Amino acid sequence: MQQQPSPYSVHVFVCVNDRHGERKSCAEGGAADWIARLKERVQQNPLLKGRVRVSACGCLGLCAQGPNLLLHPQGLWFSGVGADDLGRVLAAIEARAGVPPTSDEVPSRGAI
């Protein structure tokens, strides 16, 4: 086994858990779309590429508040994210990764 620091400045975990309507879950809130959109934005920005990783993950435990995503190691948690929140989440990611903002969005309170 090898132990090492994370190679990423920001690792974004997006819950994609799907309970198929049995209970509320992040998948029904468009989590798959969030992954695609965030990955696309990271790939488009050479300053983020390689420093920020976007990964799908299982249940983060706050299902009723979903869709949920988490920035690691910052411990920033976003709940109830909607399509209109992409700019704000991206701004928080950029601030944490130490790269200039690409939009006029202001990072969520407490995100920087």
Closest approach, Cβ 100 to ligand FES, in A, equals 31
Q: Each residue of 28-48: b (16+ CB within 10 Å) or e?
A: ebbbeebbebbbebbeebeeb
The DSSP secondary structure of 6-40, one letter per residue, reads: -S-SEEEEEE----TTSS--GGGGTHHHHHHHHHH
Footprint on residues 1-20 left by ligand FES (CB under 6 A): 15, 17
Output the smallest distance, CB 65 to ligand FES, in A: 8
Closest approach, Cβ 79 to ligand FES, in A, equals: 9
Residue selected from 32, 47, 56, 59 as contacting ligand FES according to rule CB under 6 A: 59
Q: Is 82 in the site for ligand FES (CB under 6 A)?
A: no
Work out whether 25 is an interface residue with ligand FES (CB under 6 A).
yes
Q: Kindly state whether residue 32 participates in binding ligand FES, applying the rule CB under 6 A.
A: no
DSSP assignments along 81-94, one per residue: --GGGHHHHHHHHH
In the structure encoding, which two tokens stand for residue 58, read together? 């299982």
| Footprint on this chain of ligand FES (rule: CB under 6 A) | 15, 17, 25-26, 59-63, 66, 68
